Chains A and B, each alone.
Chain A
Amino acid sequence: MSKLARAFLRHPSGRIGLAIISLYLIAALLGIVGLTPHDPLKLFAIDRLKPPSATYWFGTDLLGRDTFSRLMVGIKQSMIIAFCSVGLATLFGTVIGLLAAWWGTLWDGILMRIMDVLLAFPAILLALLIIAIVGPGTSTSVAAIAIVYTPIFARVVRGPALSLKQRDFVDAARTFGSSQPYILSHHLLLNLVAPLAVQVTLALAWALLTEAGLSFLGLGTQPPTPSLGLMLAESKNLMTQAPWLMIFPALTIMLGILGFNLTGDALRDILDPRTQRREA
């Protein structure tokens, strides 16, 4: 493990990615405990559309709310949605992929065709369909993103699980009488940690992107709760008078996605020797 950590920290993308994610996590934690410079929901009527200053680091919005504090809470919101949705997608996708590979034939066909049906929709469209049924909101965003990414995890797990199933050590475990759940969790799943780790990191980047996109369309996190996509959408009509309202949320969204993408790439380079020194 320490070898892996050392290799990760030696990788330039890994170092930069980790630094960005750490910054994001700190901002999210401070947002959760409420340690923001100002109350993100409080209206400072006389300080409307103030440019960045010592009092308001990233300026204020049309209602006089502090942009920096709102960004911190927005990051918290994005991170909670991203981690919850990717967590659920990993759980369901892994279970479905493992069972499809283990049971094989009929069940494999049925489960993977259901996953194919879910993959037949562009991600944002499937998320919009789910929102059309349930209505917008934080928990809907979590569910929608989780459903969108579950088939990807199922595919990532099923392929290698199928080949692991044929290996001698699995046959040996069967011969020694190990139970089915034990073989699945100890022999198959443990050998799938590497591809899963890469996929989880990259999925976190996609989840941040999808969440911000849904909020940008007004179908994700609902006001007055701050969210990065919504802040960017609101800045559209004020971009000439108050460009800071657009620039800071835009940079924050980009930075978060970049952090997870860099980390995912570094992990892939380290864990998959075939991609070493080849992938950009």
Chain B
Amino acid sequence: MNYVVQRLLTFPLILLGVSILVFVSIRLVPGDAITAMLGTEAGLLTPDQRAALAAYFGIDQPIWSQYLRWLSGLFQGDLGISSIYGKPVLSIILERFPLTLQLALMSMLISLSVGIPLGVFAATRNERPSDLIVRMLAMLGQSTPSFVIGVLIIYVLSVFFGFVPAMGTFTPLTVDPLASVGQLIFPAITLGFAFAASVTRISRSAMLDVLSDDYIRTARSKGASQRSVVWRHALPNALIPVVTLSGVEFGYLLGGAVIVEQIFALPGLGRLVLDAITQRDYALVEGTVLFIAFNFLLVNLLVDLAYVALDPRIRIGGR
């Protein structure tokens, strides 16, 4: 079967699996929706009151019927009501999402603009001291968790520069673009640090592969300059694995935002998940986890399709 068709067919199937997993997981939590909402006061309800509430929440129905009801709600954009905020879950998510999306995009931009040139530089100086230094730095970068980088950045800024990054608030890009980007620059560096290291390693490795290809030898023998060989002939092909990595990593950046938003006290989607978990707001946990997983899957699908456009061999041979 054509790879694109196969990929488009499995997407809704996996999405359905994700929704089942999230739905069932939350129902495994001890206690029902009534206990979650009323806490210890649920014990004071009469059997009639409890039955009425059970009918209201639909938990008196079999699990598959509850799932179908929940799923049809999802299609209408109904992710339930948050018990912390008393508002529809979807509206809270949509309020918080722009920050997380901007953070992920900025970290990706920083990582790619640092990682690709470094990787190309190291590949063109294979096994020389400068290559070894880049490789060592990349390995160190990949081994440094975002929360270590975040804490170190705050320490260096506050102790050596007497500057504390703005925390707790966020200016949207539409209100004041400069302030918005300025506010997220350190969190974006924190989040993108390890990713920049991965991009460096993959770019170097892909570049070394491409540089040993026959068509590069041909270009050299025809007198193409080193600059033209590297940037015009080799780089476009070497970027294919970087595109794949970027797609996968973008989803991880959305997930990794949980930790970075916590360090810099940013009111994004990641912090919302954490608040929902610590305050046991299950409708919010369900909604945010599903929303992030959906975006993760969607980005991966788009990247796979872009990969097909970049590398025609996949269209013919499958993977």
Report which A residues bind B (CB closer than 8 A): 13, 113-114, 116-118, 120-125, 128-133, 205, 209, 212-213, 216-219, 229, 232-233, 235-236, 239-240, 243, 246, 250, 253-254, 257-258, 261-262, 265, 275, 277-280
Contacts and interface: CB of A to CB of B under 8 A. Distances in A.
A236 B159 CA distance: 13
B25 A129 contact: yes
B18 A122 contact: no
B254 A122 contact: yes
Contacts, number: 144
B196 to A, nearest CB: 13
Nearest to B28: A133
B205 A213 contact: no
Contacts of B256: 122, 124
A10 B147 CA distance: 34
A234 to B, nearest CB: 11
Contacts of A218: 278
A257 B254 CA distance: 22
A209 B142 CA distance: 11
Contacts of B273: 125, 128
A133 B293 contact: no
Summarize A's interface: helix, strand, loop or mixed.
Answer: helix
Contacts of B276: 132
Contacts of B151: 232, 235-236, 239, 246, 250
B209 A278 contact: yes
Contacts of B230: none
B122 to A, nearest CB: 7
A120 B25 contact: no
A246 B262 CA distance: 17
22 contacts: A113-B10, A114-B17, A118-B21, A121-B289, A122-B252, A122-B254, A122-B296, A123-B252, A123-B255, A125-B293, A128-B273, A131-B277, A133-B25, A213-B259, A216-B147, A232-B148, A239-B158, A243-B155, A246-B155, A253-B145, A280-B135, A280-B200
A280 B122 contact: yes
B7 to A, nearest CB: 11
B96 to A, nearest CB: 15
Contacts of A250: 148, 151-152
Contacts of A130: 25
Contact of B154 (A114, A120, A124, A239): A239
A121 B293 CA distance: 5
B26 interface: yes
A280 B204 contact: yes
Interface in B124-146: 127, 134-135, 138-140, 142-145
B185 interface: no
A120 B293 contact: yes
Interface residues of B, number: 58
Contact of A132 (B29, B152, B201): B29
Contacts of A133: 25-26, 28-29
A116 B274 CA distance: 24
A158 to B, nearest CB: 13
B262 A217 contact: yes
Contacts of B138: 280
Interface of B: 10, 13-15, 17-18, 21-22, 25-26, 28-29, 122, 127, 134-135, 138-140, 142-145, 147-148, 151-152, 154-155, 158-159, 200-201, 204-205, 208-209, 251-252, 254-256, 258-259, 262-263, 273-274, 276-278, 282, 285, 289, 292-293, 296-297
A258 B139 contact: yes
A257 B205 CA distance: 22
A129 B22 contact: yes
Contacts of B139: 13, 258, 261-262, 265, 280
Contact of A217 (B144, B259, B289): B259
Contacts of B262: 217
Contact of A261 (B22, B143, B293): B143
Contact of B201 (A117, A118, A279): A279
B148 A116 contact: no
A201 to B, nearest CB: 13
A250 B259 CA distance: 15
A118 to B, nearest CB: 8
A122 B297 CA distance: 10
B249 to A, nearest CB: 10
Given A120-B297, A261-B139, A261-B143, A128 B258 contact: yes
Given A117-B14, A205-B143, A212-B147, A122 B285 contact: no
A278 B252 contact: no
A257 B147 CA distance: 13
A233 B152 CA distance: 12
A55 to B, nearest CB: 25
Given A113-B14, A205-B143, A124 B25 contact: no
Contacts of B147: 212-213, 216, 229, 232-233
B158 A124 contact: no
A236 B259 contact: no
B133 to A, nearest CB: 11
B285 A132 contact: yes
A206 to B, nearest CB: 10
A216 B259 contact: yes
Nearest to B297: A120
Contacts of A235: 151
A254 B111 CA distance: 20
A157 to B, nearest CB: 18
A121 B145 contact: no
